[in-house]
């Protein structure tokens, strides 16, 4: 009888232990899931945007974007960009005319995301535009991710304001259009239809020589400005979990005008955090001004910095200076290892 009682007690104790272990296991699993979610949210800046980007992105509805924006853009590998040349602004820097091809252009780009589209943009603003355009961007529920200059000693003074957002594709297009419409309202018309900077500039530079020095095989001539666009295939950049490509502004570029003896080059460097100091050093040591160091995004991974520069002088020397800076980044060209010291 005692054996039977002890046996029953032992079985009950065993069942209780098993039940407790199961409960603890479930509790640990729930805690782990919760911790993982909190970690994801923290890594995304607490915005909760990772959840929507974990969904499968559907192709962009470019027809809707074009209809809403009222402007035709450029389609590239699933992404869509609308560019607005600021032809209404007459900007001079050190005696050189800055036309849209030299970096005087507003753009808005769309890329697929889990909840429709992610929009990114760079809006050219004057000192008069700055405040009302800021207010319009916030009013539309978009974010301002950067405000910076591209030039110094420029007359009139122009700034560049970066915006971002994500959501329903048609709604994102409506919000972006509202911002561009505000610019039109303040300026008294569509900047693209202006005539102040719609003419070509002089360019007699040997572009083949530039290509050889910089190690870049292709450039584009537009109204006297010869421009190189250099991507960063070594960096898989994401903003809120959405890939950011060369087409969306993740690139280094150099725009040239002038003569072999007196050329002007303006551009943008894209850099990982450990590349910032050596790039700046290389540019300054080679007589090229660094005029801005800043971000374009705020939730990007990995961390990326952008740098604007301006140089005036002999085209060949400027090219070697840029090459020295390029060689400090992951985008090292495989051809022509010359530097200023070896020239």
Q: Burial, 234: exposed, middle or buried (Cβ in 10 Å; 0-12, 13-18, 19+)? A: exposed
Quick one: DSSP state of residue 191? G
Contacts of range 12-20, beta carbons closer than 8 Å, 24 or more positions apart: none
**pLDDT tens sequence for the chain (343 residues):** 445 555 555 555 555 545 454 445 445 545 543 554 444 344 444 444 444 444 556 889 999 999 999 999 999 888 899 999 999 999 999 999 999 999 999 999 999 888 899 899 999 999 999 999 999 999 999 999 999 999 999 989 999 999 999 999 999 999 999 999 999 999 999 999 999 998 999 999 999 999 999 998 789 999 999 999 887 878 776 776 777 766 667 778 999 999 999 999 999 998 898 999 999 999 999 999 999 998 876 776 788 888 999 999 999 999 999 999 999 998 443 333 333 333 3
Determine the pLDDT at residue 251.
Answer: 73
What token pair was written down for 121? 């943009």
289 touches 309 (CB < 8 A): yes
Determine the pLDDT at residue 304.
Answer: 85
Maximal CA-CA distance, the chain? 111
270 touches 244 (CB < 8 A): no
- In angstroms, what CA-CA distances link 182 with 99, 139, 159, 185, 205? 22, 11, 16, 5, 39
80 touches 60 (CB < 8 A): yes
Quote the CA–CA distance of 226 and 220 in Å, as a whole number: 5
Determine the pLDDT at residue 212.
Answer: 96
Quote the CA–CA distance of 148 and 71 in Å, as a whole number: 26
Determine the pLDDT at residue 290.
Answer: 97
């Amino acid at each position: 009888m005692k054996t039977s009682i002890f046996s029953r007690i032992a079985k009950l104790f065993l069942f209780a232990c098993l039940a407790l272990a199961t409960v603890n296991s479930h509790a640990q699993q729930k805690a782990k899931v919760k911790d993982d979610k909190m970690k994801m949210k923290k890594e995304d800046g607490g915005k909760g945007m990772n959840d929507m980007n974990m969904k499968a992105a559907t192709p962009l509805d470019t027809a809707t974007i074009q209809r809403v924006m009222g402007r035709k853009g450029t389609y590239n590998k699933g992404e869509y960009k609308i560019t607005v040349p600021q032809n209404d602004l007459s900007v001079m820097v050190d005696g050189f005319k800055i036309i849209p091809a030299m970096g005087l252009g507003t753009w808005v780009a769309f890329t697929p995301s889990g909840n429709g589209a992610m929009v990114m943009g760079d809006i050219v603003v004057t000192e008069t535009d700055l405040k009302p355009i800021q207010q319009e961007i916030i009013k539309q529920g978009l974010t301002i991710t950067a405000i910076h200059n591209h030039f110094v000693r420029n007359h009139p003074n122009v700034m560049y304001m970066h915006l971002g957002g994500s959501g329903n594709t048609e709604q994102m297009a409506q919000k972006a259009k509202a911002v561009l419409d505000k610019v039109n309202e303040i300026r008294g018309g569509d900047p693209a239809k202006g005539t102040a900077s719609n003419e070509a500039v002089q360019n007699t530079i040997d572009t083949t020589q530039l290509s050889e020095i910089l190690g870049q095989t292709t450039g584009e001539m537009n109204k006297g400005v010869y421009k190189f666009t250099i991507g960063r295939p070594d960096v898989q950049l994401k903003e809120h979990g959405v890939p950011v490509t060369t087409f969306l502004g993740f690139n280094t570029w150099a725009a040239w005008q002038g003569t072999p003896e007196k050329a002007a080059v303006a551009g943008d460097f894209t850099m990982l955090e450990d590349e910032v100091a050596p790039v700046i050093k290389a540019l300054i040591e080679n007589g090229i001004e660094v005029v801005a160091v800043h971000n374009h995004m705020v939730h990007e991974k990995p961390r990326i910095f952008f740098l604007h520069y301006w140089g005036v002088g002999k085209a060949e020397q400027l090219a070697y200076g840029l090459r020295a800076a390029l060689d400090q980044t992951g985008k090292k060209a495989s051809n022509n290892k010359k530097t200023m010291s070896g020239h």
